[in-house]
Copies of this chain bind each other. A is one copy, B any other.
């Protein structure tokens, strides 16, 4: 059974374990084994290492064991996805694994930056810039171009965009399940 690494800021939720269980059940329904970071049992006191280092090592081992990854790229504490998830997406790609991603906000990156304020259209270059005069990408993507395009190049599909209810922003699994369907399709195509 193919193993799917389940990346996302979901691990920071108070009900992270329950959500991970739901994700793993959905994986099983589509013929996959879900690998959820929270499953790693960390016992820092037994070996005297820093907890964050142990979590890092356990997650990295899990990513290396996975056959593919599904990443929750919903904007997190600002205009972009959770950086832990984005790091894991990059690592999966570097390891040559197939990647899929979803976001629970349909609005694109530029429009989210505009809604957060503090960006302006430069009349000379006709390009959007932030308060540091740094360019804001305007490609209609959900996030930084490296993220959107990594999914297309290394999974075969654009990021799945779905608007969740605000109180379900990090729990809605509509996009996650769509990724599972895409993974099944991608594997059957390549078989």
Chain A: residues with CB nearer than 8 A to chain B?
9, 12-14, 50-53, 55-57, 59-60, 77-84, 86-96, 113, 129-130, 132-137, 139, 141, 143-150, 152-153, 169-170
Closest to A13 in B: B134
Let me know if A53 and B94 touch, CB within 8 A.
no
> Which residues of B are found within 8 Å of A53, using beta-carbon distances?
149, 152-153
Tell whether A52 pairs with B132 under 8 Å between CB atoms, given A87-B86, A91-B91.
no
Q: How would you classify the secondary structure of chain A's contact residues: helix, strand, loop or mixed?
A: helix
| This chain's copy number in the assembly | 2
> Which residues of B are found within 8 Å of A82, using beta-carbon distances?
144
Cα A77 to Cα B137 with chains together (Å): 13
Closest to A138 in B: B52
Which of B81, B83, B137 is within 8 Å of A52, CB to CB?
Answer: B137
